[in-house]
């Protein structure tokens, strides 16, 4: 791959030979599970390792998020937006290195890796502005001397479960908006891309350290078998965002349904391109090629079916 060397990437993002798979803020905490070595799909060589979370580590992380919620929910939304703005600035400073780490660990080409980080920067910009627009409606009442109005309240800690194919952007879409709304985030990344998650958490922790904040953007690297039942039945968690396969998404939905807890699901699809008889075939060829094999075919929107008019088939 072109761009910065592996050593320079890891140094810039504070990725060590062995890294903790949990984080509750700027103060370092060590996970106590087994080492998970991340191998690059580029050459099959090890990049670095992350020590996985145990059931006990899980409790520490969720406790930290629940504790942080008590004060973060009362912090004015524009002040919460300032934290997200500063995280966006850290991402700007380290865009090339983080994009290169996405390439190194996940395998997508470097421009795609950088593009994913740019999405993170963009959502931080959006959320910063949105933090000053969390208003509600004032509604006419039929009763005298009476007023009706909407007031939105923070939900609580949010669990964000992400997939390997977009290892950093999906976290940011959730975390930036949850952050301005007053909700701490517990991030469980794919075990195939733990280093990018650790790197992003390191950048967020730089901002939290400047403001003496703890428990807002938490990391939980580990196996679902270790704490999965706890994660999806924990009443301290107010909402779940899950990205992954449809098969696993159904299993997660069944676990969450008895609690009627709020959810966001982004699962694999069966996407099609419809090729009509009046189409520009050269344009179709380019579009189909990118849609089917761009990002190594690892997108939720990856093309899987062609529906072609019989006249051009």
Q: Which residues are catalytic?
A: 266, 300
Which residues are within 8 A (CB) of 197 and not within 5 positions of it... i.e. 6 or more apart? 162, 167, 168, 171, 187, 189, 219, 221
Q: How far apart are CA 97 and CA 88, in angstroms?
A: 15
Where is 118: in which H helix or E strand?
helix 110-130
Say if residues 14 and 199 touch (Cβ distance below 8 Å): yes
Q: What angle do CA 284, 287, 289 make, to 5 degrees?
A: 105
| Cβ-contact 56, 87 below 8 angstroms | no
Measure the CA–CA gap between 25 and 214, rounded to whole angstroms. Answer: 5
Cα dihedral 271, 190, 181, 30 in deg (nearest 10): 180
185: Cβ–Cβ under 8 A, 6 or more apart, which residues?
A: 65, 157, 158, 159, 160, 171, 174, 175, 178, 179, 216, 217, 218
Task: List the structure tokens of 2.
Answer: 């072109």
């Amino acid at each position: 791959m072109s761009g910065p060397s592996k050593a320079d990437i890891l140094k810039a993002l504070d990725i060590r030979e062995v890294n903790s798979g949990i984080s509750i803020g700027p103060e370092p905490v060590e996970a106590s599970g087994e080492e998970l070595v991340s191998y690059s799909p580029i050459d099959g060589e090890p990049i670095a390792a992350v020590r996985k979370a145990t059931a006990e580590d899980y409790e520490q992380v969720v406790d930290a998020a629940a504790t942080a919620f008590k004060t973060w929910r009362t912090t004015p939304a524009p002040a919460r937006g300032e934290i997200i703005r500063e995280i966006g600035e850290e991402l700007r400073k380290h865009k090339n290195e983080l994009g290169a780490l996405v390439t190194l660990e996940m395998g997508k080409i470097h421009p795609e890796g950088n593009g994913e980080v740019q999405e993170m920067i963009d959502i931080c910009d959006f959320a910063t502005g949105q933090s000053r627009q969390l208003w509600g409606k004032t509604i006419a009442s039929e009763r005298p001397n009476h007023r009706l109005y909407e007031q939105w309240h923070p939900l609580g800690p949010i669990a964000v479960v992400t997939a390997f194919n977009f290892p950093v952007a999906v976290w940011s879409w959730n975390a930036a908006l949850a952050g301005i709304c007053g909700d701490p985030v517990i991030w469980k990344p794919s075990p195939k891309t733990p280093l990018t998650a650790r790197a992003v958490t390191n950048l967020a922790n730089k901002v939290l350290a400047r403001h003496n904040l703890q428990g807002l953007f938490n990391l939980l690297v580990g196996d679902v078998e270790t704490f999965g039942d706890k994660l999806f039945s924990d009443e301290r968690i107010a909402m779940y965002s899950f990205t992954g396969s449809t098969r696993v998404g159904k299993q997660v939905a069944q676990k969450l349904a008895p609690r009627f807890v709020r959810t966001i699901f982004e699962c694999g699809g069966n996407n099609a391109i419809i090729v009509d008889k009046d189409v520009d075939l050269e344009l179709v060829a380019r579009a189909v090629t990118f849609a089917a094999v761009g990002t190594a075919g690892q997108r939720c929107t990856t093309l899987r079916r062609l529906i072609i008019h019989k006249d051009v088939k």
